[in-house]
Structure 1
Amino acid sequence: MLRVILVDDEPSARRGLRRMLGQFEDVSIVAEAGDIPTALNSIRHFKPDAVFLDVELTNGTGFDIARDLPPDTFIIIVSAYDLYAIDAFNVAALDYLLKPVEPQRLETAINRLRERTTSPDGYTERAEESMLLDGAGRIRLKTNSTTILVQAETISMLKADGDYTRIFLETGQTHLISKLLRKFEPELPNPPFFRLSRSHIVNKGHIRKVERYAANKSRLYFETCSETVELGRSATRRLREILNI
């Protein structure tokens, strides 16, 4: 059973989506929320498989919730506007549904959720090519066109990029790898690598500066990698614990 939470500040929108989801026998709506605090409390309590998330909420945006979701909770954006597509991509949203939601598009989103939360018969993690190559700490990174070897210690950050992961090296180079970010987490040494959010794994040793820019939020800068990372409340809290600050 797929356990989902609906987050929308319009009761009529929640009613409509609830009615549409009722056609799927394997989908259970475990909670609904119309504001960010209620949504976060419900997510912590029910630990759903997915959150159907409106963007424009009365006390913030759905992305304030999305950035702090656990990696194994999928996001399906439901919005009346298509201008948030890039932001949805940055938080690794599973799908983006435009209001009014079309039944076929909703079915596509549910099928994607099913694929991500269940494994095909006979599938095992061993079926994937192992990432770690040898005891010297060299890692195999497979792109669409080639396979490269890098030292794990040269990686500054890994960032979710849809169904891919973008690797940022201390040299300034980046590589787009055909592998989900969550697949990397158990294979990287911890420390120095830490999962900060559903979209980011960082190398603690490459962090240069942490800059607070809003209440309980921060920006992260690296020694050589030019990419900066904006962290929400939960990710900032995890980072402060990791750095003992």
Structure 2
Amino acid sequence: MPTALIADDERLMRDQLKRRLAQVWPELDIIAEAKNGEEAISLTLEHKPDFAFLDIRMPGTTGLEAAQAISQSTHVVFVTAYDQYAVEAFEYGAIDYVLKPADAERLTLTVERLKKRLVSPPNDMQALIAKIAKQVTKKPAYLQWIQASIGQELRLIPVDDVLFFQSDEKYTRVQTKNYEALIRKPVRDLLEELNPDLFWQIHRATLVNSKAIEGVVKDLRGRLLVKVSGLDEKLEVSRSFTHLFKQM
């Protein structure tokens, strides 16, 4: 029976990949899970899995660094949420990849490739991994998914579906067309992780999806208010960010 390790710092992502793999490759035995690259290296040495599914970006030792350490002993599969520019390197190399969240159709293709590799020993791919590492650091990597709470439920929300983020002292509200959710990450941290061309800061505590802006109006006090598509609610624009709407 083929065996595998999954390494991802987000439990939700590990669980989702496990479920998808169970659907498309029920014979695969997930014998270990790691929360970071250091654990992935240690658990690979201990359990010797046939495959290691490694999230590229993890705190501390990254998936790329872990891959350099274990690629001689296990077949490496990279898991990535937003490194689309690295996909080309994977396509032309011997290393495979899975885009987060795992798509059943794409994962099926990956599994077919991995089954063929079971009969051959892992390749030492230090040079190729180093090349991918350079590509990954060339461009900023923007978030594609938000892990947020809706009541007692934990949900993955595509960033493109978010209309705006708005923080208070404790939580940040994640508003979509159909529902709102909460995360603990403040707007100042989200600013570093979101594409600035897509999300505009219009207030110290507010980021709005530029594609969701329906218009801008002034209230009786002369304040600019952003009208968000699909919502009755309007978002205040602070003076520091009025320049964004001079052409509107």
Structure having the higher Rg: 2
TM-score (normalizing by structure 1): 0.46
Instruction: Give 1 or 2: higher helix fraction.
Output: 2
Q: RCO (CA 8 Å, sep 6+): is it higher in 1 or 2?
A: 1
